[in-house]
Amino acid sequence: MTTTATALKLETADLKVMANRLRGHSILMTTESASGHPTTCMSCAEIVSALFFQSMDWDPADPTASASDVFVLSKGHAAPILYAALKEAGAIDQDLLDLRKIDSPLEGHPTPNLDWVRVASGSLGQGLSAASGMAKVRKMDGHEKRVFCLTGDGEVAEGAVWEAAAFASHYELDNLCAIVDVNGLGQSGVSMFGHDPAVYARRFEAFGWHAIVVDGHDVEALVAAFAEAKATTGKPTVLVARTEKGKGWSEAEGKHGFHGKPIPRGDKLTAALAEIGDADIAATRPSVTPGRRPDGGERVASWTPGYEKGQKEQVATRQAYGQALVELGNVRDDVFVIDGDTKNSTFAEKFAIAHPDRYVEAFIAEQNMIGVALGAATEGKIAFASSFAAFLTRAYDFIRMAAYSRPGALIVCGSHCGVSIGEDGASQMGLEDIAMMRAVYGSTVLYPSDAVSAERCVQAIIRAGGVGYIRTSRPKTAVIYDKNELFPVGGSKTLRSSDADVATLIGAGVTLHESLAAAETLAKDGIAVRVIDLYSVQPIDTATLQKAAAETKRLVVVEDHSPAGGLGEAVAMAVAGKAPIDHLCVKTAPRSGKPDELLDTFGISAAKIVEAVRAGL
């Protein structure tokens, strides 16, 4: 066996031995932790051996993979075999027996707590989308290296896999190679097509892929298949590998009932290891200290919005979002924008027209859209993904998992939020999205109310990094801010205030404008109220809200959102019972109607706000 600084190339005989070493590691790791999935690792041992120690071009000293191939483990429960391969290659120095310990980066399913992991996996069916995003960006940037993604046959039942398959074929991602480990068994029974790799091959071929059916335990055939994949142009390749779950231990091999069950200490463990055999390779493996994967560096961009406070022309925040993307693309070349066939509604089309080489159409496939954006973010891009807020709910698991992947900057924009969209009706009205996004680990949630704040929020949210959410509205609204006003993450804007305020009105988006109109009406009757623009929903401006609670004694929160998880609950948490709260929101199922009718019908119009304030006097 030879080991070099830039590649690992084993002879066929050594690849077979390495596969058994990986099996042995996977068994011992899971036995030590008394949890994990050894049999799903054992089925793909030859695949991982052939890939990591012969076919993949990678540097065990460089987890950034900036000049190397990238590997994505979509079947995340096979994490032990990934860690074993990295250890055998000298890429990590962690003790493999620390698997799943609280202070170890070797987690039960992969996360970027280990530098070699690009995207968190384990929620099945997501890896191919992220890999497609990486491959697409590499194509766009002229990067020569490839992307490999290992999936399981069970997870191929997920519809998102086929969204990714369609995307990769459409964009001719011949730098992408997927491997399906067809071991025939899922968690609770036989997988959908059992041990019939031809079915999977035909399906991928129907989606425009080059498919290779291969014996997943024949390392020589696997190496040849990977070489064929590399030589294939104009389309992605999938290796459909027939394997046996639990391969190497006859008691479990190809049998149901062993999923997620480590081999207990004692005679069974001794027998399993003995059956696998003496898997020793005499070689000196490098000891390395990997560095952190960079997240794209400092994300700073500034420009002055081209709107004037009080101008006659009203502007929708969704329109200003599109213009902000254009301006951002003008000053930074690392911006990546993707949309789900709504670009003429989200106004992402402005970026597509101005910077077509950095725009990608995901079509109506929101799960894959988020996965692709995540893949782009791991390649150092400032990634934006946009659709109707309502349609993002189907992509929520992808957004949730993206947060655990800790991307440098992945910004999701949900437009057409709330009943204010009007006649299109309930199916198009995002009324759950703030709750959804506030619950995402480490997320930033911004909700601009005019064109200036929308553009400034784009500037602010990229600096925050991680997963961010911008909520934009369909109706055109007045420009109420000076173009030089800044909107830092965690802030708010107090637009009306006096010592005589009897209540504080808190809104964002369209309800801020309704609150301002209500304040004008109340002022005519000598009733003074404070008005706060809560544009930063998360993190929230606790100090300003608590000050308002102390000084005005009563808060009226108005939002175009359902009662759960939105502005009302965010404010309630921030003020911690220091003042009573009236919560005006969409409390019953919405319907079609004109925007003004709907705002009034569902109790969030200026007139309803006035009624609420008067009722509390």
Q: Kindly name the residue from 107, 244, 366, 514 that is annotated as catalytic.
A: 366
- Based on the number of CB atoms within 10 Å of its own CB, is 208 exposed (0-12), middle (13-18) or buried (19 or more)? middle
DSSP-derived pairing of the beta strands 493-496 and 529-533: antiparallel
What is the residue type of 336?
Answer: F
Active-site annotation holds for 366: yes
Distance between terminal CA atoms of the chain? 84
What is the residue type of 179?
Answer: I
| Cβ atoms within 10 Å, residue 301 | 18
Structure token digits, residue 345: 């509604």
Specify the residue for token string 């995340």: 76
What is the residue type of 415?
Answer: S
CA torsion, ordered 340, 346, 349, 352, to nearest 10 deg: -60
DSSP state of 286: P
- Based on the number of CB atoms within 10 Å of its own CB, is 483 exposed (0-12), middle (13-18) or buried (19 or more)? middle
* Cβ atoms of residues 127 and 73 within 8 Å: yes
Q: Rounded to whole angstroms, what are the CA distances from 399 to 66, 392, 412?
A: 25, 9, 9
Q: Is the peptide bond before 356 cis (omega within 30 degrees of 0)?
A: no
Q: Rounded to whole angstroms, what are the CA distances from 216 to 71, 223, 494?
A: 18, 10, 64
Helices 510-524 and 606-615, axial angle in degrees (round to 10): 50
Partners of 430 in beta bridges? 417
Specify the residue for token string 């952190």: 292
CA torsion, ordered 611, 615, 616, 617, to nearest 10 deg: 100
Helices 542-552 and 567-575, axial angle in degrees (round to 10): 80
DSSP-derived pairing of the beta strands 536-538 and 444-446: antiparallel
Exposed e or buried b for every residue in 572-611, given b needs 16+ CB within 10 A?
bebbeeebebbbbbbeeebebbebeebbbbbbbbbebbbe
Q: Rounded to whole angstroms, what are the CA distances from 87 to 95, 97, 106?
A: 9, 11, 11
Q: Residue 356 contacts by C-beta under 8 Å, 6 or more apart in sequence?
A: none
Which helix (H) or strand (E) segment holds residue 329: the answer is helix 317-331
What is d(CA 1, CA 4) in angstroms, rounded to the nearest whole number?
A: 10
* Cβ atoms of residues 365 and 163 within 8 Å: yes
Beta strands in 330-458 (DSSP E): 335-339, 359-361, 382-388, 409-415, 444-446
Partners of 494 in beta bridges? 532
142: alpha, beta or left, given left = phi > 0 and alpha = psi -120 to 50?
Answer: left
Helices 159-170 and 127-141, axial angle in degrees (round to 10): 10
Residue numbers annotated as active site: 366
